[in-house]
Amino acid sequence: MTNSVRSIVRRFPGVPTLEGAGVRLRRSFSNNEVPLFDPFLLLDRFGSADPADYLAGFPWHPHRGIETVTYVLEGRVEHGDTLGNSGVIGAGDVQWMNSGSGIIHQEMPQRTESPLSGFQLWVNLPAAEKMSSPAYRGLGAADLPVVRADTGAEVRVVAGVHGSVEGPVRGIPVDPSYLDVRLTPEELFESPVPSGYTVFAHAIDGAGSADGDDIRPIAPGETVLFGAGGPVRLRAGDRGMRFLLVSGRPLHEPVAWYGPIVMNTPAQLTEAVRELRSGAFVKDPRPVVEE
Ligand code: FE2
């Protein structure tokens, strides 16, 4: 049974949420869902055609103990940190940031000719690596390989492997796969997922359905969590489907969560807050930038 095609076990329509300094977004899952998505902590889908929904942005805030993965589909997000790093995450770009022991940064969506659209995923760090050195990985759209199948499917590989193509984000502790998949109408897609790994899909556009027990269509904006098993199999509906497919190795460690800081024990959170107040939060003089 362990290698049977996975079924959908839970569905998350996304909850309208006001985040940062007043950004309207939809939160697919977060601290209420721990440990269902282990090693993933949070998925936000941001975006709007109305700049008033996002221009307030995410001004200066700290992170510790996690990786934040920002994937911009349309528009642009400027970022900077207290140590002098800055840049732009544009359409098709990914920023994979390891906050490690601590970083204070801001993420500010900009007004452009197109609507804003994108995702932020939080990936947990193992206990042993929560106080590691911070690091940025900035991937331009051109850095992300696209695998095109004869059937019409297009798969952008951010992390993990699709077919024989490996994504550029490597060496992440929880061995994640992060795919952006476009299927033509009625097309069937299958992706192997190691047994014991957590896997979910988020429908960006169009609709589709998964093999297994629960074959109700997956609606645009919906996140579906798959149960135990092997591969994931999805079939696009009659208008095609674009979705994120994300998997990773669960950590099975305790989670202590305070806003943008996720550690293992309440004492570690108390320590983080104390250090924020005293100015001792940022440990590393300068995070590594891997462009
Ligand atoms: Fe952040």
The CATH number of the domain holding residue 208 is 2.60.120.10
CA of 153 to the centre of ligand 1 (A): 32
State phi, psi for 84 to the nearest 5 degrees. 105, -5
CA of 102 to the centre of ligand 1 (A): 11
Evaluate whether 67 touches 172 at the Cβ level (below 8 Å).
yes
CA of 169 to the centre of ligand 1 (A): 19
Strand partners, 103: 63
- Region of 142 on the Ramachandran plot (φ > 0 left; ψ -120 to 50 alpha; else beta): alpha
CA of 61 to the centre of ligand 1 (A): 6
CA of 63 to the centre of ligand 1 (A): 6
Q: Can you tell me the distance from the alpha carbon of 19 to that of 8, in angstroms, rounded to the nearest whole number? A: 28
Interval 229-287: pLDDT, tens = 999 999 999 999 999 999 999 999 999 999 999 999 999 999 999 999 999 999 876 65
Neighbours of 34 (CB within 10 A): 17
For 89, the enclosing helix (H) or strand (E) is: strand 86-89
In a domain, 288, yes or no: no
CA of 213 to the centre of ligand 1 (A): 37
In a domain, 66, yes or no: yes
pLDDT of residue 225: 97
In a domain, 40, yes or no: yes
In a domain, 283, yes or no: no
For 204, the enclosing helix (H) or strand (E) is: strand 198-210
In a domain, 290, yes or no: no
Interval 13-32: pLDDT, tens = 999 999 999 999 999 999 99
In a domain, 195, yes or no: yes
What is the dihedral sign for C-alpha 69, 146, 46, 204?
A: negative
Evaluate whether 46 touches 116 at the Cβ level (below 8 Å).
yes
For 266, the enclosing helix (H) or strand (E) is: helix 266-278
* CA angle (155 as vertex; 38, 246 as ends), nearest 5: 5
DSSP state of 141: G
CA of 95 to the centre of ligand 1 (A): 11
Average pLDDT, the chain: 94
CA of 85 to the centre of ligand 1 (A): 14
In a domain, 289, yes or no: no
> What's the number of domains the chain is made of?
1
Domain that holds residue 80: 8-278
CA of 159 to the centre of ligand 1 (A): 20
pTM: 0.95
Please give the share of the chain, as a percent, with pLDDT higher than 70: 96
CA of 226 to the centre of ligand 1 (A): 27
N-term to C-term CA, the chain: 42
pLDDT of residue 290: 58
In a domain, 233, yes or no: yes
Interval 6-16: pLDDT, tens = 999 999 999 99
Q: Can you tell me the distance from the alpha carbon of 42 to that of 27, in angstroms, rounded to the nearest whole number? A: 8
